Amino acid sequence: MKPFATTLSFAERMITPCGQRTERRLSHMRGMYQDIAETEAILRRDDPLIYEVYAGGVPEKEGQLPHCLTVLYPGQVGDEYYMTKGHFHVAMDTAEIYLGLEGEGYLLMQTKEGDSQALEMERGTIAYIPPYWAHRTVNTGKGPFVFFAVWPGHAGHDYGTIEESGFLKLVMERDGQPVLIPNPRYR
Ligand code: S6P
Ligand code: ZN
C-alpha cells in the first residue's frame, strides 16, 4: 500500500475520492425508534434518509486506521431525534475518536455492564470512545450533524447486540429541548 491523501469537503459534506458511501434510511432502522407505530406510518408515506457515511478508503485490517465522515440529518420519529444505529466493536478492546465538524448532537455510549454516558458534541469536539463502550450519535440540531471518525482496522462492527437490547437512554424532544430519558424497552 502507498501513502495517499483524500479531501474532506466541508461544503459538500463528503470525502473525495470516497472508498464507499453507505446510506441509512428509516427502513434500515425498523424497530430502533421508540414509536414503532409512527415509524410504520412514516414508512407508508416515505423512506427518509437518516444518515450517510463516506469511508476514506482504508481497509478494515489490523494495523490500519479506517476513517469516515458521517452526515446525520436533522429530524424526528415522533419525539425521538434522528440517530445512528449504534454498535459495539467485535474486538471489544478497541477505542475510537470522533471529531465534530458541523451541527450538534449527543454521543451516547454504554457498556455491557450497564454503564451509560452521553457527551454533547459540536464543531471542534474531540470525543474519545474508550474500549468496551458501544456508541451511537443523535442529531438534536436544526441542520446536519457532521463528524469524522477514526478506529483500529481490526475492530469490526457488532450491530446485533444493539438491535436486540437497544440503548439505555433515549434522546427525546420535550418542550422544544432535547432530554435524555431511560429506555423502557432496554433489555
Ligand atoms: C465506525 C464509527 C462511525 C459509524 C457511523 C455510522 O466505527 O463509529 O463511522 O459507523 O457514524 O454509525 P453506525 O452505528 O451505523 O455504524
Ligand atoms: Zn465504532
* Number of structural domains the chain divides into: 1
Place of cell 438491535: 163
Residue 96 lies in a domain: yes
Residue 187 lies in a domain: no
**How much is the pLDDT for 104?**
98
Residue 51 lies in a domain: yes
pLDDT at 18 over 90: no
- 177 Cβ neighbours under 8 A, 6+ residues apart: none
- Rounded Cα gap, residues 62 and 25, in angstroms: 30
Task: Report the nearest-CA residue for atom 16 of ligand 1.
Answer: 86
Whether 151 lines ligand 1, by a CB cut-off of 6 Å, is yes
- Mean pLDDT (whole number) for 17-25: 93
- Mean pLDDT (whole number) for 41-55: 98
Alpha carbons within 13 angstroms on the beta-carbon side of residue 93 total: 0
pLDDT tens across 133-178, in order? Answer: 999 999 999 999 999 999 999 999 999 999 999 999 999 999 999 9
Task: Report the nearest-CA residue for atom 4 of ligand 1.
Answer: 70
Q: How confident is the model at residue 131 (pLDDT cuts 50, 70, 90)?
A: very high
C-alpha cell at 128: 474519545
Residue 39 lies in a domain: yes
- 96 Cβ neighbours under 8 A, 6+ residues apart: 89, 128, 129, 135, 149, 150, 151, 155
* Nearest residue to 142 (alpha-carbon basis) of 94, 75, 96, 90: 75
Question: What is the residue range of 66's domain?
Answer: 10-182
Residue 3 lies in a domain: no
CA of residue 86 to ligand 1 center, whole Å? 7
- Mean pLDDT (whole number) for 24-38: 97
CA of residue 88 to ligand 1 center, whole Å? 10
φ, ψ (nearest 5 deg) of residue 137: -110, 150
Residue 112 lies in a domain: yes
**How much is the pLDDT for 133?**
98
- Rounded Cα gap, residues 106 and 129, in angstroms: 13
Task: Report the nearest-CA residue for atom 2 of ligand 1.
Answer: 149
pLDDT tens across 67-82, in order? Answer: 999 999 999 999 999 9
pLDDT tens across 87-103, in order? Answer: 999 999 999 999 999 99
pLDDT at 36 over 90: yes
User: What average pLDDT does the structure give for the chain?
Assistant: 97
pTM of the model: 0.97
pLDDT at 19 over 90: no
The CATH number assigned to the domain holding 31 equals: 2.60.120.10
The ligand minimizing its distance to the Cα of 51 is 1
φ, ψ (nearest 5 deg) of residue 15: -105, 130
Residue 5 lies in a domain: no
